[in-house]
Amino acid sequence: MCGIVGYVGKKTAQDILINGLKRLEYRGYDSAGIATLDEDANPHCARSVGKIAELEKVLAAKPHEGKIGIGHTRWATHGGVTVNNAHPHRAGDVFLVHNGIIENYKELKAKLSDHEFKSDTDTEVLAALIDSYYKGKATLADAVAKALSEVRGTYGIIAFSPREPEQLVVARFGSPLIVGLGKDETIIASDASALLGYTRNAIYLNDGELAICTRDDIDLRNLKLESIKAKPEEIQGDAEQIQKGGYDHFLLKEIMEQPTTLHNTLSGRINVKQGTMRLGGFNLTPKELREIEHVVIVGCGTAYYAGLLASYYIEQIVPDVTTEVVIASEYRYRSFHLPKHSVALIVSQSGETADTLACLREIKQRGAKVFGIVNVVGSTIAREVDGGSYVYAGPEISVASTKAFTSQVATMLIFAGMLSEAHGGNRETIAKLATELDALPDEIAKTLETCAPIMKELAGKYCKYDDALYLGRDTAFPIALEGALKLKEISYIHAEGYATGELKHGPIALVDSTYFEVFNILKGRLFEKSIGGLQEVRARGGKAIVLTDAPESLDIEADDIVRIDTKFELLTPILLNTLQQLFAYYVAVARGNDVDQPRNLAKSVTVE
Ligand code: M6R
């Protein structure tokens, strides 16, 4: 979603702003802009539609020299993708960039008849509101605080004015902002990746906080402008992690690095010899773990599917615990009831997803403990949960989530193992889970290596289709859903995931020679039933790709079969998913799509 960068220091602001915005490109955007103040405090603003390269062309014709400025990448919400709707917005002496949504902007706009609006955005309304209070002796910070007290909605903002040319005023409610403290410079960004390489020392703004930032000082306040003590923290990660590392796309890099990132997820958490598992951050005593009767898992998109897959395993290995997996955007508005002894797992790669965060708060308010399964260190969800674990997948830049999914599932499986132990679950099963988790990075490496060329070839064969169904039973069902999501996001092929047993209840009506079907088939107790679904599709002219761990001795008739060789009994679905990730990637490349930044999508969905 939208990205924000601000700079005040001794260097040319334009360079830092553009570099920062490029680091935030992965979040998804459709226009970009910067505003700066030159040495004589004259404002300059440049905006353009499309990629940052377009903005750079504008700036090449007329570079900005100033040492203070703000920049923004916009993902359209209010008003179309036009230069006028791009940020920064100006009202009088106020220049503003904004992430989030001002819900009561129409109401506020109606009161601002003095301002001639040039855009359709809620942000320009906020700029005009700030300007309306920026009169007489009022400082910019006074005006910002006053305006924000009238606003309903979410925001992360940076404002500046030629009247106070040495400061940026920053404020946050519901949309992240991080203030990086450098030597003789302050850099602000909506995402820590824009700060990497400049400073590791930063203040993560909390909701309701405002900061007046100069080159060498941060004055942190609440919205009543009372002083607050700032607690600087260390930014994790390094600039190398956000490079492509020789791959053509971040997505391929992130698929291929799963053995390493998963190793980081598991490190220190599994004891194969003892057959035990621990997640330190859960801070629950064995008694508290024993008392858990109900686990609700909350997420959106891929995080939801990771939760769904984990729930199958929790049910399998933990006696007497009920698991419920919910889509955050629905759950937050449902009249849900949490039985006594419930805990919630809040699953989010970014740790900023608005709907997931809203659920966290609702659940907490109802008295249940909430635990985060989060990738981005220091993110809002990670800061608001009662405990939980980072998944340590490292920065995930490509919009389509791959390595985070695998690490989320693995982290929740460790939780399942802990829970099972506390509830007197079968020791052998827990030990088997520990052994397979420990071996998973190597099994994924083997699968990726042997199957990447096969999936590439299949992608070439199926890339011209317009429709696909993904199917699976049991633990392969959430994998089918995830496979369909991955394909549709980056290839734009219409793809739907279904439980194989649901075919006859509707989707089989779609099957003809224009569709292809991806069957995830596990050997084991439901093998025959899965083959039944496959035969039904083939009898109706559907083209079928089968992804399976079944050996050659188990006869399968399909258009294409990819067999993986593994001794796993529990975790094969995760291996099948890596095949789907490769397939989606190669199809998207074959169709000439923007793989890392697919149209209309954003990496971090910070608005409802
Ligand atoms: O950051 P989160 O894990 O909370 O994001 C949730 C979804 O927006 C995300 O998984 C989305 O579905 C991805 N584009 C999937 O690839």
SS (H, E, C) 366-399: CCCEEEEEECCCCCHHHHHCCEEEECCCCCCCCC
Percent of the chain with pLDDT over 90: 88
Of 187, 168, 280, nearest in space to 235 by CA: 187
The answer to whether 476 touches 520, Cβ cutoff 8 Å, is: yes
Q: Is the pLDDT of residue 241 over 80?
A: no
Q: Is the CB of 396 under 6 A from ligand 1?
A: no
Distance CA 373, CA 405 (A): 11
Q: Is the pLDDT of residue 430 over 80?
A: yes
Q: Any alpha helices (H) in 267-423, and if so which ranges? A: 286-291, 301-317, 328-331, 354-365, 380-384, 403-422
295 Cα–ligand 1 center, Å: 21
Q: Are strands 467-472 and 494-499 parallel, antiparallel or unpaired?
A: parallel
303 Cα–ligand 1 center, Å: 6
pLDDT in tens, 447-482: 999 999 999 999 999 999 999 999 999 999 999 999
407, with CB counted inside 10 A (0-12, 13-18, 19+), is buried
Q: What is the pLDDT of residue 472?
A: 98
What tokens were used for 537?
């599709």
Q: What is the pLDDT of residue 604?
A: 81
50 Cα–ligand 1 center, Å: 23
Q: What is the pLDDT of residue 78?
A: 80
Q: What is the pLDDT of residue 342?
A: 97
Distance CA 588, CA 249 (A): 11
Q: Which of 175, 191, 302, 352 to mutate to test the pocket of ligand 1 (most atoms within 8 A of CB)?
A: 302
What tokens were used for 285?
């005593």
pTM: 0.83
pLDDT in tens, 555-608: 899 999 999 999 999 999 999 999 999 999 999 999 999 999 898 888 888 887
Q: Is the pLDDT of residue 239 over 80?
A: no
496 Cα–ligand 1 center, Å: 17
Sequence-separated (6 or more) residues with CB below 8 Å from residue 240: none
482 Cα–ligand 1 center, Å: 11
Please provide the average confidence, as pLDDT, over all residues in the chain. 95
Q: Whose CA is nearest to atom 7 of ligand 1?
A: 301
Sign of CA dihedral 418, 421, 426, 432: positive
Give the H or E element holding residue 220. Answer: strand 218-222
Q: Whose CA is nearest to atom 11 of ligand 1?
A: 301
Q: Is the CB of 380 under 6 A from ligand 1?
A: no
pLDDT in tens, 485-527: 999 999 999 999 999 999 999 999 999 999 999 999 999 999 9
Q: What is the pLDDT of residue 28?
A: 75
Q: Which domains does the chain have, with CATH numbers?
A: 3-242 (3.60.20.10), 250-590 (3.40.50.10490)
Q: What is the pLDDT of residue 50?
A: 92
Q: Is the pLDDT of residue 25 over 90?
A: no
Sequence-separated (6 or more) residues with CB below 8 Å from residue 205: 156, 170, 171, 172, 176, 177, 178, 179, 211
Confidence of residue 232 (pLDDT cuts 50, 70, 90): very high
pLDDT in tens, 157-206: 999 999 999 999 999 998 889 999 999 999 999 988 899 889 999 999 99
Question: How confident is the model over 33-59, as a mean pLDDT?
Answer: 96
Distance CA 270, CA 442 (A): 15
488 Cα–ligand 1 center, Å: 14
Distance CA 300, CA 331 (A): 11
Q: Is the CB of 580 under 6 A from ligand 1?
A: no
Q: What is the pLDDT of residue 485?
A: 98
What tokens were used for 152?
């309903």
pLDDT in tens, 528-545: 999 999 999 999 999 999
Please state which of the ranges 9-13, 50-54, 243-247, 283-287 shows the lowest mean pLDDT: 243-247
The answer to whether 549 touches 572, Cβ cutoff 8 Å, is: yes
Q: Which atom of ligand 1 is nearest to the CA of 601?
A: 14
How many CB atoms are closer than 10 A to CB 329? 17
| 446 carries an active-site annotation | no
| 2 carries an active-site annotation | yes
Q: Is the pLDDT of residue 220 over 90?
A: yes
Percent of the chain with pLDDT over 70: 100
Please state which of the ranges 33-42, 227-236, 598-607 shows the lowest mean pLDDT: 598-607
Q: Which atom of ligand 1 is nearest to the CA of 356?
A: 4
Q: Is the CB of 489 under 6 A from ligand 1?
A: yes
Confidence of residue 421 (pLDDT cuts 50, 70, 90): very high
Q: Is the CB of 359 under 6 A from ligand 1?
A: no
The answer to whether 208 touches 156, Cβ cutoff 8 Å, is: no
Confidence of residue 135 (pLDDT cuts 50, 70, 90): very high
Confidence of residue 243 (pLDDT cuts 50, 70, 90): confident
Confidence of residue 280 (pLDDT cuts 50, 70, 90): confident
Secondary structure (3-state) at 286 = helix
300 Cα–ligand 1 center, Å: 6
Distance CA 114, CA 45 (A): 22
The answer to whether 333 touches 350, Cβ cutoff 8 Å, is: no
Distance CA 71, CA 188 (A): 10
Q: What is the pLDDT of residue 326?
A: 98
Sign of CA dihedral 77, 78, 79, 84: negative
**Active-site residue identified among 2, 213, 300, 359:** 2
Q: Which atom of ligand 1 is nearest to the CA of 350?
A: 1
Q: What is the pLDDT of residue 475?
A: 97
Secondary structure (3-state) at 572 = helix
pLDDT in tens, 287-310: 999 999 999 999 999 999 999 999
The answer to whether 154 touches 160, Cβ cutoff 8 Å, is: no
Of 254, 211, 263, 209, nearest in space to 380 by CA: 209
Q: What is the pLDDT of residue 42?
A: 96
Q: Is the CB of 399 under 6 A from ligand 1?
A: yes
Question: How confident is the model over 129-143, as a mean pLDDT?
Answer: 97
Question: How confident is the model over 9-32, as a mean pLDDT?
Answer: 91
Q: Is the pLDDT of residue 242 over 80?
A: no
pLDDT in tens, 339-367: 999 999 999 999 999 999 999 999 999 99
Q: Which of 1, 190, 349, 491 to mutate to test the pocket of ligand 1 (most atoms within 8 A of CB)?
A: 349
